[in-house]
Structure 1
């Protein structure tokens, strides 16, 4: 049976849902949220975290799938208010979200399928550790020259000279 690539994590208490916002330049997960429901509030929380952490300039292109959460007027208004242009996949075109789907696949193979979570809190803690400690700071990516997302971003920063 194929395993879903959706951001659902089973716990003995029920499902825990994960929404992420990824910077495609560095593959860094810059925003994320977890909750008991997969709705516009969940994805808005992940977007808010990304916007607060990055403060992107107007004209940023934000890509998502066609899920109702991302198509909601609240989500679209949040993007428009920051001058962010929305790009969505065509119906049935899974390749447009390949980088994020790859992240979810890695997450499931490296953590979720290997762990039986008794509680949602246990899953939240493990997902936090995976994203913030392992994936962003330690996990190497062939696309990034075998650097972690944080190391890749640090290497790409312009060198500043001390006065």
Structure 2
């Protein structure tokens, strides 16, 4: 899991929770706002195009809808200006 150096991510409780879940943590470099730029852009797009447009009845419904958005739309059909107006699948 890649995070910034916010106190919520550097706390001992969070570190213990990650270890229990067998998740390795990495951090952004101090003072570098660009480390997370691509993920933040993706999250903004995901929220605008899917999350804010939908009411989920439960966690499983949300999980399936988000998976479907990412795998069926975002990676396969949605073109991206940063990769010369190709889909991520076309770029791969």
Question: Normalising by structure 1, what TM-score?
Answer: 0.43
Aligned match for 1:102, one of 38, 41, 50: 41
What is the CA-CA distance between 1:91 and the residue it aligns to? 4.6
1:122 aligns with 2:61: yes
Count of matched residue positions in the alignment of Structure 1 and Structure 2: 82
Q: Higher strand proportion, which one?
A: 1
C-alpha displacement of 1:128: 0.9
- Find the counterpart in structure 2 of residue 65 from structure 1: 3
Question: Do the aligned partners of residues 92 and 112 (structure 1) sit closer, same or farther apart at CA in structure 2, a change above 3 Å counting?
Answer: farther
**How far does residue 122 in structure 1 lie from its aligned partner after superposition?**
1.3
Tell me which of the two structures has the higher relative contact order, counting C-alpha pairs closer than 8 angstroms and 6 or more residues apart: 1
Find the residue that maps to 2:60 and give its secondary structure. Answer: helix
Deviation readout 1:75-115 (Å, 9 max, x if unpaired): 34xxxxxxxxx862135644310000100000000000011
Shift of 1:123: 0.7
TM-score (ref. length: structure 2): 0.72
Q: Which has the higher helix share?
A: 2
Other-structure match for 2:51 = 112
**Partner of 1:21 in structure 2?**
none
SS of the residue 2:23 aligns to? helix
| CA RMSD, Structure 1 to Structure 2 (Å) | 2.6
Q: Any stretches of 5+ residues in structure 1 without a counterpart?
A: 1-42, 44-63, 77-85, 154-163
